Amino acid sequence: MILQTDTLSLTLQGNRLLHDITLDVRPGEVLGVIGPNGAGKSTLLRVMAGLLRPETGRVLLDGQDLFSMPPEQRGRHLAYLPQDAPAAIGMSVRDVVTLGRLPHRRTASAKQDIAAVQQALEAVGMRAFADRSCASLSGGERARVLLARALAVEAPVLLADEPIAALDPAQALTVMELFNRYAAQGQAVAVVLHDLALAARFCTRIAVLSEGALASIGTSSDVLTDALFAEVYGVAVRRCGEVVVPWSLVSRNRVL
């Protein structure tokens, strides 16, 4: 399934949050969404997930308008992993991951549900923790449980908002590899990232947002140019092979 945004614009209380954004997330790819704080990355993802209605423009899932789709159908086609989720008080890991099967309550058998939950738990390496209470987990473990919940939906489109923010380098790599494997099965993944090195390494394409508008979109070598870093982030970078390291500020005015 392909998720497209068509000339999306959104203004809330006089603030222009998104402006004229047209892009697509294709089956088999991981699209990284990057940009400075406040550039509109999370807002864009929320619009793409059907949580915020754009003022103008449309979001299309396989050509069908997302906002006129029956909610249950949308729930099966699109999984959303927010930046911060509430602590599911007292629930076990398996209970939380099983919630990912709720959109399938009329379309899947109990057997399919159990298999999907097992697979999701295994994918994030939490199978051994299945019967533990979520309250007893570390921040990183909880982030993986919530990711497993999103994977258990088995949706053709997965939208993840900073899924690796709470993770150490090894776990961050594991999760990015997981997204690649997910995409390799033909699913479309869009993921908001702050880590430019991981974005460059793992994303098929990268979309750069700046002040609510799409500054650039393409492969990492096309997009992550010195000029773009100076323009969008206001930083000069140094390169070490594939790795890009923000090194110094170009213009102090834009940060302060």
Interface residues with other proteins (CB under 8 A) are 46, 49-51, 70-76, 78-82, 85-86, 88-92, 95-96, 99-100, 102-103, 105, 146, 149, 153
For the bound state, the minimum distance from the C-beta of residue 140 to other proteins, rounded and expressed in Å, comes to 18
- Cα separations (Å) of 79 from 17, 90, 154, 157, 178? 23, 24, 8, 6, 15
Give the DSSP H or E segment for 130.
Answer: none
Looking at the Cβ atoms of 73 and 251, the one nearer to other proteins is 73
For the bound state, the minimum distance from the C-beta of residue 93 to other proteins, rounded and expressed in Å, comes to 12
For the bound state, the minimum distance from the C-beta of residue 18 to other proteins, rounded and expressed in Å, comes to 17
Give the residue among 62, 50, 52, 54 at the shortest CA–CA distance from 26.
62
- Distance from C-alpha of 42 to C-alpha of 193, rounded to nearest angstrom: 10
Looking at the Cβ atoms of 7 and 107, the one nearer to other proteins is 107
For the bound state, the minimum distance from the C-beta of residue 82 to other proteins, rounded and expressed in Å, comes to 5
Sign of the alpha-carbon dihedral angle for 8, 13, 14, 16: negative
Place of tokens 């489109």: 157
Looking at the Cβ atoms of 41 and 149, the one nearer to other proteins is 149
Give the residue among 119, 158, 165 at the shortest CA–CA distance from 142.
165
Looking at the Cβ atoms of 158 and 235, the one nearer to other proteins is 158
